[in-house]
Amino acid sequence: MKKKMNVQTLVVLGVLTAMEIILSRFLSIAAWNVKIGFSFVPIVIAAVVYGPAGGAIVGGLGDLVGALLFPIGAYFPGFTLTAILTGAVFGLFLHKRQTLGRLLGAILINLFILSLFLNTLWISLLYGSAYGPLLATRVIQCLILAPVQFVVTGSITKVIKLYTARKVEV
């Protein structure tokens, strides 16, 4: 995002934000403390193409606008902070170079630090539930999502790399 923000960038980020909202609010499996879906895909795309700022914008706006337009529960700004950090982490790890280690690092930080520990804290604060038992139930979510995110994110980065290589050749 060091480049000047132009209309095309704004439109792409807007479309990716809309995709994140749809995938998060309508096409995911959600209970009050567990959510499984593919809402990370538009965030990864924005992060790989536009860097940490692009990923953070799509993650943050997707959560904020989604929560305001299609609330699942009470709005809590902590979840928006986590969504911003998720996009930023994907961007920091995957924007310039995509290696197996960087991919694994981004997914582990996002799932096991941000989603597991931080979002569990937000849920605990929001609903007044004990942190420990919540953490135990949410570990299953992370264990299910880790291999899925690894395969999907790896595939996305390869497709983007092929597309940008072809675009440069033409």
pLDDT band of residue 18 (cuts 50, 70, 90) is: very high
Cβ proximity of 142 and 116 under 8 Å: yes
Mean pLDDT in residue range 132-148? 91
Q: Which residues contact 78 (CB under 8 A, 6 or more apart)?
A: 118, 119, 121, 122, 125, 126
With a cut of 90, say whether residue 141 has pLDDT above it. Answer: no
Helix (H, G, I), strand (E, B) or coil at 76: coil
The tokens for 70 are 């299609």
With a cut of 60, say whether residue 25 has pLDDT above it. Answer: yes
pLDDT tens sequence across 93-118: 999 999 999 999 999 999 999 999 99
Give residue 2's identity as a one-letter amino acid code.
Answer: K
With a cut of 60, say whether residue 40 has pLDDT above it. Answer: yes
With a cut of 60, say whether residue 147 has pLDDT above it. Answer: yes
Cβ proximity of 49 and 94 under 8 Å: no
Topology of 7-169 in CATH?
Answer: Arp2/3 complex 21 kDa subunit ARPC3 (1.10.1760)
What is the model's pLDDT at position 33? Answer: 65
How does the average pLDDT of the chain come out, rounded? 91
Separation between Cα atoms, residue 64 and residue 81, nearest integer Å: 10
What percent of the chain shows pLDDT beyond 70? Answer: 94
Query: What predicted TM-score, i.e. pTM, was given to this entire model?
Result: 0.91
What is the model's pLDDT at position 168? Answer: 60
pLDDT band of residue 74 (cuts 50, 70, 90) is: confident
